Amino acid sequence: MALKRMDNVGIVVEDLGGTIDFFRELGLELEGRAMIEGEWAGRVTGLGDQRVEIAMMRTPDGHSRLELSRFLTPPVVADHRNAPVNALGYLRVMFAVDDLDETLERLHTRGAQLVGEVVEYKDAYRLCYIRGPEGLLIGLAQELS
């Protein structure tokens, strides 16, 4: 049996509305919002009784998604938002953009902060990391071909 695809990356946030607005500004589309709750959901996550408000964001090409989750019950137990780039575990999501400078300008109005510098890699890409809403680490890459 072969792997078919990656469906989504999950990100837990406190401010679901603000995070949706940020990723819309980046260019993702809101597919939908829903409340996930009940015994069946707790069996999947191992958290027992849970209430989670989610929003599914889709990239313009339709191939990738972010699942943004705001836990109402149980409360969040850890905060990794300000972890450095070399922290263990899932860390960032990288997006390809047409115009890195224009994207940075737009996202700056939504609170994005450049982590280091914008750098060029082998005349192939311009790259940077930013901190988005709630300190989320996001990579941006512009192909230079």
Q: Which pLDDT score is estimated for 44?
A: 86
Q: Which pLDDT score is estimated for 85?
A: 79
Q: Please, what are the domains in the chain?
A: 9-73 (3.10.180.10), 92-143 (3.10.180.10)
**140 and 101 Cβ atoms separated by less than 8 Å:** no
Q: Which pLDDT score is estimated for 28?
A: 98
Q: Which pLDDT score is estimated for 52?
A: 95
Element (H, E) at 20: helix 16-26
- Which residue numbers in the chain have pLDDT < 50? none
The model carries a pTM of 0.89
Residues 92-131 pLDDT 10s: 899 999 999 999 999 999 999 999 999 999 999 999 999 9
Residue with tokens 């709630």: 134
Q: Which pLDDT score is estimated for 81?
A: 78
**16 and 68 Cβ atoms separated by less than 8 Å:** yes
CA–CA separation, 91 and 72 (whole Å)? 23
